[in-house]
Amino acid sequence: MPLAKKTIRDIDLAGKRVLVRVDFNVPLKDGQVADDTRIRAALPTIGFLREAGCPVVLMSHLGRPKGKPDPAFSLAPVAWELARLLGTIVGHAPDCVGPAVEAMARDLRPGQVMLLENLRFHPEEEANDPSFAAALARLGEVYVDDAFGSAHRAHASTVGVASYLPAVAGFLMERELSALGRLLDNPDRPFVVILGGAKISDKIGLVRNLLTNAMRAGDTLAVGGGMANTFLAAQGYNLGASLVEAGQLVLARELLTEAARLGIKVILPSDLVVAKEIAAHAPSRVVAPDGVAPDERAVDIGPATREAIATSCRDAGTIFWNGPLGVFEVDDFAAGTTAVARAVAASPAYSVVGGGDSAAAVEKAGVAAQVSHVSTGGGASLEFLEGRELPGVACLLDR
């Protein structure tokens, strides 16, 4: 699907100072970056701009500092890590707006890079305050949005600045929109959608839009994790102490009926790993859905279910996976999620893995490089696939 928005290839950048929204919301440990995946994802855009002779001003949020400066959420460690990856000095501004920051930006020479301090040290960022957006815009002559993970937020740095500067997509934004758009725009078939996570209520819009606009007869919808419990309960199974959304049983039955009407195969767990407590080394056993004791809860999909999903992946033309298939954060209950990660990676299909735990699973399994596209945006990717307009994309210049 051709990208409908202009990118940094489509605009005259020569010598212009460029303000770039990146997603450097990375984990820190002991004052250092613990995972540089998101930083590395922005390097192609930064490199392109430097080669074009642009002074580059980067801006990002980090964590939830509640609208005021907090040293624990400073982007200083990120500036150090970026400098290491680029092999050059990266200036770190003491703030993200104000005369001192504007002076730093003006003094940048072609190819030099600076990183602003945490945008969320100011409440005006999340409020999309026009004056704050204008202050950010004074730091550049062109605005580039390369923060797909924040594109579903209408904040000053993602939407507001586009009112003051020509706004285009960076390479990461382009890659995300192209990969996710391919899922909705007549994907190669069979199309296999694998959904996990705790709640069906979090993914109602996603399931409805995929069933209505992307999936066809012969495609497969596989469901695991906590949300599978609600589907199983809707079929009459007693899941013991498992998480079940009692208020979503009617919806679950409706979705199963709609999938059957469309000729879409649904894979629900035929076996479950159950335990009496969610803890490392807790005793567990594999049972059929009708074998869960009152004091047990489902913590993973069983071996037969893993194989059923893996089989669907082998024959797929396109795969989309979002959400863990069990209590992934406890190693004893991560086998199902890990098996699916390996099955997705081993498939010859075009494969897209949603952000968050799914992305962490393919990284942990060591197979991320074998997946066609691992999204950097959890909430943004889901909203896009729900068919919703993302504010941080809508504000960019049309082709």
Contact between residue 334 and residue 341 where contact means Cβ atoms under 8 Å apart: no
Contacts of 29 (CB under 8 A, 6+ apart): none
Told to judge if 138 belongs to the known catalytic residues of this protein, a careful annotator would answer: no
Active site residue 379: yes
Phi, psi of 298 (to 5 degrees): -70, 130
Of 5, 16, 38, 153, the catalytic one is: 38
Catalytic one of 226, 240, 302, 356: 356
Count the residues in the chain: 399
Q: Which of 328, 370, 336, 329 is nearest to 353 (CA)?
A: 370
Which residues have CB under 8 Å from 348's CB, separation 6+? Answer: none
Q: Describe the strand order of the beta sheet including 142-145 as a list of residue ranges.
A: 90-92, 113-115, 56-59, 18-21, 142-145, 167-169
What element of type H or E holds 226? helix 225-234
Asked if 237 and 290 touch (Cβ cutoff 8 Å), the reply is yes
CB 160 within 8 A of CB 131: no
User: Residue 129 is encoded by which pair of tokens?
Assistant: 């305050």
Residue 239 · residue 289 · CB < 8 Å: yes
From 67, 317, 379, 387, active-site residue: 379
Q: Which of 310, 374, 373 is nearest to 336 (CA)?
A: 310
In terms of phi and psi (left: phi > 0; alpha: psi -120 to 50; beta: otherwise), the region of 102 is: alpha
Spatial neighbors of 286 by CB under 8 A, at least 6 apart, are 271, 272, 273, 274, 302, 303
Q: Choose the catalytic residue: 199, 208, 216, 265.
A: 199
Q: Which residues are catalytic?
A: 38, 199, 356, 379
